[in-house]
Every structure is written in C-alpha cells, then in structure tokens.
Amino acid sequence: MDKKDHIAFAQIAAAFTAALAVARPTEGATAPNPVVGCAVLNAAGDILTVAAHPGAGAPHAEALALAQLAQMDVSDQAHTLVVTLEPCNHHGRTGPCSAAILAAGIRCVWYGLPDPNPLAQGGAAHLRASGVRVFGLTESPGGGPLLAQVRRQLAPFLTRVQSARPFVTVKQALDPSGSMIPPPGQKTFTGPRALAFAHGLRRRADAIITGSGTVLADRPEFTIRHVPDFAGKSRPLVILDRRGRVDAEYLAAAHARGFRPRLVQDLEQALRDLAQEGCNEVLVEAGPLLTESLRRSGLWDDWALIQKGAGPQGDDLITVTARDGQKETI
C-alpha cells in the first residue's frame, strides 16, 4: 500500500462511529430500506462529511454524502468512503452507489456488513474489480466492537430480509408486585421517563401489534405523543382477535388516527405479512396473555422491560434484553 494512501484504523473506526451516529435519527424512518450511515474522508483521514439514507425513494447515504461534497466544493479531496452497509450495485429507485463512488474518484471503501439483498449486493466486488481498495469490517481484525454496533443498527432490515419476518420488540411494564395490569381507571402505571422510552419504541416501529384483551380493556390510542414522530409515517395496527371481539368503532377511530388497523388470528402469519409489506421492525404492546404467548413462541428479538420503582433511586428500571441474552440498562 502506498504510504500516503494509508489511513490509520483508528480514523476509520471514528468514521464508522460518525456514520452510525448520523444514521441514528433515521432508525424507524427507512423501511423497507435499511438504516445506513456514511462518512467520506480526505487522504489525511479527516472526515469531510457524513450522511444517512433518509428513507425509501430518497438517495442512499453514499450518494447523499458525495452530493454534499460537491455542494461544499471539496469533491477533489474525497479519498476514502466509510459506509455501514455494502454499497449497492443495482438500479432501484436510485442509481447504483458503486457507480457514484467510482465517478467520484474514491480510492478506498470501508463497509460494515455485506448487503444480504440478492438484488442489491455485489457492490464490493464491482468496486474491487474497478480498482478501488475495498475492506469489509467482517474481515478486519479489531472490527468486532464496531461490527456489533453496525449489526444492531441494521438488525431490523437484516431480520426482515433473512428471516422473512420483522424484528420484534416486546414492551412489558411490570408493577412492584410483578403485575402488568394497571390500577382501575388507569391505562398505565409508569413514570415520564418510561413513557418517553416506550413512545421512542413506537416511533421506530413500522407496525404495532396488540391483543384484543388490551383493546377491550384500555381502548389505547397507540399514537406517539411523548417524542416527535416521523412526518407522514402510517403504521399497521395489528390486533390478535380470534373471537372477533374488537368493535368496528375502535377500528374506525384507529384509522382516523392514521393507523392501518387489522384484526388477525395468527401471529406468525401476521409477522410474515408485515415483512412482505416492508415492515422492518414491529413493537408488541399487549397484555399478559399475548406477551406470555410471544415469550413461549420465541418470536421476539428485543425484550424491553419496564419495572416500576425498581431503579436505584426508586424510579422505573428500564432494561432491554436481546435474544442472545445481552442486557442493556437504559
């Protein structure tokens, strides 16, 4: 490798961190597309610009970052491109990123994960064949911690493409006695921090799943109130209701709130259908019956548990446990 061409891995790692960070606000905005962040560096390894894919139909992160460089009039300084997902190699709603990268004269590309989508993959091979030096984090010693963050950010998209179902987050709130049932006349028993957290989960979800028991008991709105929602985002509201107990008025009111409500009988089929419709991530907000049934089925990815008053200062304790047992306290 030409010495002046070499950018230290610490700078590449910083660029991956910046790419992950710029993409974070788009988590929940991009379905059926993935959440992708990109950073472009000059030959000294300084970040010139960062960009994230805003959502389906909009430019990919790489194309946006390269366009920003042109606007800043620094395209001639672009040397290395760092992107969380392998650049695409196909004409979808936008042109192939591999072509945009070649046209921009990029000499080196680092990407997080290979694209699992057979239609879009092949960008790395095409760039290599065209003389660009291409590195995948998966093949890089020392890439492990970054790779875990990239995997987590891409998990909803990867789950849909690889498992034909969306990434499933279950939210469960427990009172100090271990019950999920709120006191009479109340729909919730958690504090403001837990509410903001729960509404953040709703915001990133592409669909909400609940059970007929919750609808009949609480007539919940399922709207996003404690954090801002993505403008114009409409979600399926899937209600498991084998006995057809949920009334038309509730469905009409949910529709008026911007949901696409539907009654379903089978969870697995409902998940397959949601994946087919392009939902990357769903949030389950149900009562004890459906929540327990989900736990037993194993059809979940993140379990978000809110324990009232169990925090160190008597506040709500919020933990998210992944399927592999990794636990994060929020």
Ligand X SMILES: NC(=O)c1ccc[n+]([C@@H]2O[C@H](COP(=O)([O-])OP(=O)(O)OC[C@H]3O[C@@H](n4cnc5c(N)ncnc54)[C@H](OP(=O)(O)O)[C@@H]3O)[C@@H](O)[C@H]2O)c1
19, containing H or E segment: helix 9-23
181 sits near ligand X (criterion: CB under 6 A):
yes
What x/- string results for residues 69 through 88 when contact with ligand X is judged by CB under 6 A? --------------------
Sheet bearing 236-240, strands edge to edge = 260-264, 236-240, 207-211, 281-284, 167-174, 302-307, 317-322, 327-329
Query: Quick one: 184 or 232, whose CB is closer to ligand X?
Result: 184
What x/- string results for residues 270 through 309 when contact with ligand X is judged by CB under 6 A? ---------------xxxxxx--x----------------
CB of 298 to ligand X, least distance (A): 13
Q: How far apart are the first and last CA of the chain?
A: 43
Query: Strands 133-136, 281-284: parallel, antiparallel or unpaired by DSSP?
Result: unpaired
Q: Which of 89, 169, 210, 307 binds ligand X (CB under 6 A)?
A: 210
Q: Which of 93, 128, 225, 242 binds ligand X (CB under 6 A)?
A: 242
Q: Residue for token digits 């379903």?
A: 264
CA distances from 42 to 71, 108, 162, 170 (A): 16, 11, 35, 43
CB of 313 to ligand X, least distance (A): 22
What x/- string results for residues 131 through 170 when contact with ligand X is judged by CB under 6 A? ----------------------------------------
CA torsion through residues 126, 131, 136, 140, sign = positive
Contact present, 109 and 87 (Cβ < 8 Å):
yes
How far is 168 from 300, CA to CA, in rounded Å? Answer: 5
CB of 108 to ligand X, least distance (A): 48
- Which residue's beta carbon is nearest to the bound ligand X? 213
- 62 catalytic residue (yes or no): yes
How far is 233 from 222, CA to CA, in rounded Å? Answer: 13
CB of 172 to ligand X, least distance (A): 5
Q: Which of 115, 206, 241, 301 binds ligand X (CB under 6 A)?
A: 241
Positions that interact with ligand X (CB under 6 A): 172-173, 180-182, 210-214, 217-218, 240-243, 245, 267, 285-290, 293
**Which of the residues are catalytic?**
62
